[in-house]
Amino acid sequence: MRGGASLRLRWPAALLLVVVAAAAVTAAAAAGHGDHNFHRDFDAVWGKGNARFRDGGRMVELTLDEQTGARLQSKDRFLFGRFDLEIKLVRGESAGTITSFYDTGPFPLVHFSLYSLPFDLLLQLVSSTHPRFADRWSSVSLCLVHAFALCADMRGGASLRLRWPAALLLVVVAAAAVTAAAAAGHGDHNFHRDFDAVWGKGNARFRDGGRMVELTLDEQTGARLQSKDRFLFGRFDLEIKLVRGESAGTITSFYICSGGARHDEVDFEFLGNVSGEPYLLHTNIFSDGKGEREQQFVLWFDPTADFHTYSILWNPHNIILYIDGTPIRVFKNNEAYGVPFPTRQPVHVFASIWNAEEWATQGGRIKTDWSRAPFVATYRRYNVSNACVWDAAAGASRCAGGGGGNGGGGWMRRRMDWWSWMTLNWVRMNYMAYDYCADRKRFPHRFPAECIIPIGRT
């Protein structure tokens, strides 16, 4: 522009400017499209007093105080779509808080039924943000569900366009599900042959030639099965159908344990409840005799209506708990940081049902109703085809997949991948009821070491 020279714009640049301008106008129009109104379109499902609507409902402030946070849930449900929202995060000190915008359905992503189920949009302020994001509004979009590269414009009957990364992801997920199903059904399992009834023998009824067992709790006793073999590392799968109807005071369990004062143990314990109320899944991990690592979950399905697969993967790197192939908990080997990890003691596999009315249901407030007895839990498809059987005489283990103590197949080296972390976080956000690593009343000064070490991606 020096010397008053006129600006000469070459045609490719002019065309580019037109395209960019058109894209910007389209994006701005899309962002501002729709007669949005939070007050009309959302319900305050939690912390109603902490949701303040502004500008006639076109803006909402969610507040977190010492008593409660707030959560909004869309009144409509959606099956595919793009969802845009502008958010300005908490300014200044915000440690311990979480501001979120997400969708949720009744099943985790790895279940194919999700693609035929609508889901809700939720906005939530519960309890970390970074100060540099607090000064401006940021546009946030959800494209279909979670991290899928899948977009749909349903207006005007437009067809669904599936981008190739999403198609590839769906193929991978489908293959993983088929593999998991095949693994769960693999192996010549037989409860009658592979287990001893170490307690309540009369309350263990073997069905289908030993391939299924019913464990019963009555007013006299419960029942416990213990595997005849011991194992040092492995993947342990078991299908369970829990007690139907009234189950308050009862605990149905599946766990591995070494025994002894300094025992190692990994627990699935299902805490019964009154009819119509959900089961609570109580998990715990002991290493070198130290436990008190409780995490609890509500379930996204009815565990009494059908069988579901519960799995414990234990290798030198980590312990991962799964439900129907979905990871719900991980405990990493952090021995380098002074946290004991089970690596030396072989374990038995246990299945049991017992009375724990002093604490199992609502902290022991609701007792077992013995007029509803007997309480029956059913187990099937026990699978340890991917495990290292301990040979006491040799003082070593024989691993499935060959190769002695350091052998085994992919399970021996398995760690959490990106998909596992994503689904684990989904479970934690939507279904975790208690985490010892977040209990400041229990740990007022310092959390256990494994809670402070970042879980991280491996």
Q: Choosing from 214, 269, 357, 450, which is the catalytic residue?
A: 269
Rounded distance between C-alpha atoms, residue 218 and residue 239, angstroms: 22
CA 107, 111, 114, 116 torsion-angle sign: negative
**8 A C-beta contact, residue 101 and residue 87:** yes
Rounded distance between C-alpha atoms, residue 54 and residue 60, angstroms: 6
Distance from chain centroid for Cα 415 = 16
**8 A C-beta contact, residue 184 and residue 383:** yes
Rounded distance between C-alpha atoms, residue 435 and residue 428, angstroms: 9
Rounded to 5 degrees, φ, ψ at 385 are -70, -15
**8 A C-beta contact, residue 121 and residue 99:** no
Strands 265-271 and 348-355 turn out to be unpaired
Q: How far is CA 78 from CA 294, 300, 301, 423, in A?
A: 35, 19, 20, 20
Q: Is 265 a catalytic residue?
A: yes
Q: Is 294 a catalytic residue?
A: no
Rounded distance between C-alpha atoms, residue 413 and residue 403, angstroms: 13
Strands of 148-199 (E only): list them: 150-151, 161-162, 195-199
Q: Choosing from 214, 265, 357, 450, which is the catalytic residue?
A: 265
| Catalytic positions | 265, 269
